Amino acid sequence: MMAAKRLPDWIESLPELRGRVQPNAALAPFTWFRAGGAAELLVRPADADDLAALLRALPHQVPVQVIGACSNLIVRDGGLSGVTIRLARGFSAITIEAGGITAGAAALDVTVAEHAAAAGLTGVEFLSGIPGSIGGAVAMNAGAYGGDLASVLDWAEILTRTGEQRRLPAQQLAFDYRHAALPAGAVVTRVHLRAIPGAATLIAARMAEIKATRQATQPVRARTGGSTFRNPDGMKAWELIDAAGCRGLTRGGAMVSDKHCNFLINTGTATAADIEGLGEEVRRRVLAATGVTLEWEIRRIGIPGGRPEMVPPDMVPPGVVPPGVVPPGVVPPGVKS
């Protein structure tokens, strides 16, 4: 009989935690893309105290990644080394309080919006249109439908890489478009969002409008990761992608959505390399066609299982010119006609 593989010393030296600890844990089932590799060690802490104990004991050279709903995430096929922390039930409490709502980092954005609506509070309806969890929404200043986290956050509680708990006012996070200046290695555990009393009928109508718009314009029932690229200043990423002829483009089991071309889809067999490689091909084509460099909004983490390759020529839709190919009758820059 083959001997069991010995765990790394840093894993064996960790304190006993109340949450679940799982070596070599598959992560694909957690991601909305349903693709990607495994975590060297997946930890689901029971609560903030459990997480603090882990962080205090963890050697600083061990990499740490934090995942939540995994709705805007690509986990590369080679997986994640070190510790992957997944915040779940112990971080999902939602409480209505004076001046707003307090929510754990694992609470889903839509669930927070629903709790606020049930309490007759307005100001966070936009959250009902954002797939993901509150912790991730803070980390990337998630926004949609006229609102973002920066506009409603009072404070965020974090645990530092050393296990110290801190409460940061919104001003300290220096929010920018899809960005928050969290301390390196910090884990968001709880937040307080501002919300004020409002008319229940208006709140319900706004949330219904957001839901209808999202269902009509986005591939909500597909294996997708939400908006793939950030909107450049004054422009829409989907319009640039469409103008570059990328709607419906495929690579392996990955496809640019026909419904909303700033969404990538796993049609059923895509690897993480297929998805990321297709995204990179879209960026190349948009740059070639428009001169604009798209920046990823989807977070990509882990070790590549292989080099993402360009889309083969036989997968190029009719009428689309691959990068580097000069269409007939077009004079390349710097060449005299």
Under the banding of pLDDT at 50, 70 and 90, the label for residue 321 is very low
| Tokens (6 digits) for 12 | 């064996």
Q: Which residues contact 61 (CB under 8 A, 6 or more apart)?
A: none
State the Cα–Cα distance between residues 243 and 60, nearest whole angstrom: 46
Residue with structure tokens 């301390």? Answer: 183
End-to-end CA distance of the chain: 74
Among the listed residues 106, 129, 125, 109, the one whose alpha carbon sits nearest the alpha carbon of residue 117: 125
- pLDDT classification of 117: cutoffs 50, 70, 90: very high
Q: Stretch 259-265: mean pLDDT, rounded?
A: 96
Judged against a pLDDT cut of 90, whether residue 331 lies above it is answered with no
Q: Tokens representing 233?
A: 């200043």
pLDDT at residue 82, as a whole number: 94
Confidence grade of residue 6 (pLDDT, cut at 50, 70, 90): low
Q: Which pLDDT belongs to residue 312?
A: 47
pLDDT at 316 > cutoff 60: no
**Gap between the Cα atoms of 91 and 21, Å rounded:** 16
Percent of the chain whose predicted confidence (pLDDT) is above 90:
76
For 47-81, letters b (16+ CB in 10 Å) and e give bbebbbbbbeebeeeeebbbbbbbbbbbbbbbbbe
Distance CA 316, CA 314 (A): 6
pLDDT category of residue 220 using cuts at 50, 70 and 90: confident
CB 130 within 8 A of CB 207: no
In Å, the largest CA–CA distance within the chain is 74
pLDDT at 256: 97
Reported as a pLDDT band with limits 50, 70 and 90, residue 323 is very low
Hey, which residues are catalytic here? Answer: 178, 227, 297
Q: Which domains does the chain have, with CATH numbers?
A: 18-89 (3.30.43.10), 92-215 (3.30.465.10), 223-310 (3.90.78.10)
* Rounded-to-integer distance, Cα 24 and Cα 89, Å: 21
Sheet of 223-224, strands arranged across: 223-224, 264-266, 254-256, 250-251
Residue closest to 50 by CA, chosen among 15, 81, 80, 25: 15
φ and ψ at residue 271, rounded to 5 degrees: -90, 165
Given a cut of 90, whether residue 5 has pLDDT beyond it is no
* Geometric angle at alpha carbon 85, from 81 and 87, rounded to 5°: 160
Return the pLDDT at 7.
Answer: 65
pLDDT for residue 15: 87
Q: What is the mean pLDDT of residues 238-246?
A: 96
What's the whole-number mean pLDDT along residues 311-321?
A: 45
Average model confidence (pLDDT) across the chain: 88
Average pLDDT for residues 179-193, to the nearest whole number?
A: 93
- Reading the block at residue 41, the tokens are 């060690």
Q: Measured between alpha carbons, how far is 210 from 214 in angstroms, rounded to an integer?
A: 6
Per-residue confidence at 307, pLDDT binned at 50, 70, 90?
Answer: low
